[in-house]
């Protein structure tokens, strides 16, 4: 029963959807690292619901940093952040608490925790818990920026509507990092929003694909085999509720390519070794090659929908029918984008700390 990720830089999550608060403990941050509450608040604001395309639950996310920070800088000891829950309506879950919601963790949680789990709003399995990840990720992301490493995510696809691909990362990443609904083509973004609203009107939900890029990573980060850059990043990415697939570079597109095209040719340009293409997403043999790291995450449609679905009662063991009540997102892709950014920052900083030491002196520009 472990809720901690990381080796050198670690994140521990606690809390439930309708509990008193979500808490995150971030350990391994180098002393002297700037911790800006305004930046943390800005990242949390990007994750919050947005209009008709999101849940009606509104949380202020008025967090408190209770340890590990003094006079605006990390002390080097564990940083604890608490984010209170306020806008909870637990009665929505009382009548159906024994019914397993299709697509949710209700059944598996009951099997693991023997019925002692908090069922309200999904309890510890709720997307609400990602607020803690975003808060921790903001600190890690700020640390990475001090080393010249930037990252951002755009919505590559929602309900079959595709955004244009990355083209000019140095210009696109800063803009995407400040967008609540991060797309490269605003017109396509409007189409996506309309499709989300249409699904909501039909008591349904939609999923999509997120594409993330990390710029400025040095070559040589990651280990072969079991602690490869990809496997460590996937470890935390698959912890995000609704992530069902991760692919680096061309991903499954490699199945349709020949090696002559899939390989990225090396050249020396302006004194450094680069590749002319980036089909492999900036990673070879589990180790970064100095090119932008690029990967995609598949986000499944929101499991909570108001349509009737078949299920089973955990109390009686009999078959039943359930229509999920309460306040839910018809699409979580746009909100998940900011969770992916946070998780990426945590994993990358952890891997860098292993490569260069916890103070990351080797990365100072």
Q: Higher pLDDT residue, 54 or 44?
A: 44
Q: How confident is the model at residue 87 (pLDDT cuts 50, 70, 90)?
A: low
Instruction: Tell me the average pLDDT across 7-19.
Output: 93
Residue 211 has pLDDT above 70, yes or no: yes
Q: Do 153 and 200 meet the contact criterion of CB atoms below 8 Å apart? A: no
Q: What does the pLDDT look like over 88-116, one tens digit per residue?
A: 665 666 677 888 889 888 898 888 989 88
In whole angstroms, what is the distance from residue 353 CA to residue 365 CA?
Answer: 16
pLDDT for res 57: 63
Instruction: Tell me the average pLDDT across 177-189.
Output: 97
In whole angstroms, what is the distance from residue 76 CA to residue 248 CA?
Answer: 33
Looking up tokens 């001090």 gives 146
Instruction: Tell me the average pLDDT across 227-245.
Output: 97
- Where do the domains of the chain lie, and which CATH numbers do they carry? 4-358 (3.60.150.10)
For 6-15, 18-27, 56-65, 310-319, which range has the lowest pLDDT when averaged over its residues? 56-65
Taking each helix axis as running N to C, give the angle between helix 130-146 and helix 37-47, from 0 to 180 degrees, rounded to the nearest 10. Answer: 130
> What is the longest distance spanned by two Cα atoms in the chain?
70
């Amino acid at each position: 029963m472990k809720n901690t990720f990381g080796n050198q830089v670690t994140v521990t999550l606690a809390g439930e959807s309708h509990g008193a608060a979500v808490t995150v403990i971030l350990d391994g941050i180098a002393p002297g690292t700037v911790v800006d509450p305004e930046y943390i608040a800005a990242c949390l604001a990007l994750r919050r619901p947005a209009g008709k395309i999101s849940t009606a639950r509104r949380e202020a996310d008025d967090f408190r940093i209770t340890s590990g920070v003094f006079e605006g800088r990390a002390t080097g000891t564990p940083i604890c952040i608490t984010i209170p829950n306020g806008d909870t309506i637990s009665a929505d879950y009382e009548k159906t608490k024994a019914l397993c919601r299709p697509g949710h963790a209700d059944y598996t949680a009951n099997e693991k925790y023997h019925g002692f789990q908090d069922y309200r709003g999904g309890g510890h399995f709720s997307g609400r818990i990602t607020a803690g990840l975003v808060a921790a990720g903001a600190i890690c992301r700020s640390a990475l920026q001090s080393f010249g490493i930037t990252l951002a995510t755009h919505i590559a696809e929602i309900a079959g509507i595709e955004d244009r691909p990355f083209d000019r990362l140095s210009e696109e990443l800063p803009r995407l990092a400040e967008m609540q609904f991060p797309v490269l083509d605003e017109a396509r973004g409007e189409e996506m929003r309309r499709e989300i609203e249409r699904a909501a009107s039909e008591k349904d939900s939609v999923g999509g694909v997120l594409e993330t890029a990390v710029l400025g990573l040095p070559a040589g980060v990651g280990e072969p085999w079991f602690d490869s850059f990809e496997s460590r990043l996937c470890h935390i990415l698959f912890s995000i509720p609704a992530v069902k697939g991760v692919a680096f570079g061309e991903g499954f597109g490699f199945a349709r390519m020949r090696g002559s095209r899939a390989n990225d040719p090396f050249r020396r340009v302006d004194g450094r070794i680069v590749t002319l293409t980036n089909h492999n997403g900036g990673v070879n043999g589990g180790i970064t090659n100095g090119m932008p790291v690029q990967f995609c995450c598949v986000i499944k449609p929101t499991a909570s929908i108001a349509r009737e679905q078949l299920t089973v009662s955990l109390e009686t063991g009999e078959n039943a029918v359930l229509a999920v009540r309460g306040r839910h997102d018809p699409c979580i892709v746009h909100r998940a984008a900011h969770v992916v950014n946070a998780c990426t920052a945590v994993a990358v900083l952890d891997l860098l700390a292993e490569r260069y030491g916890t103070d990351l002196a080797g990365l100072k520009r």
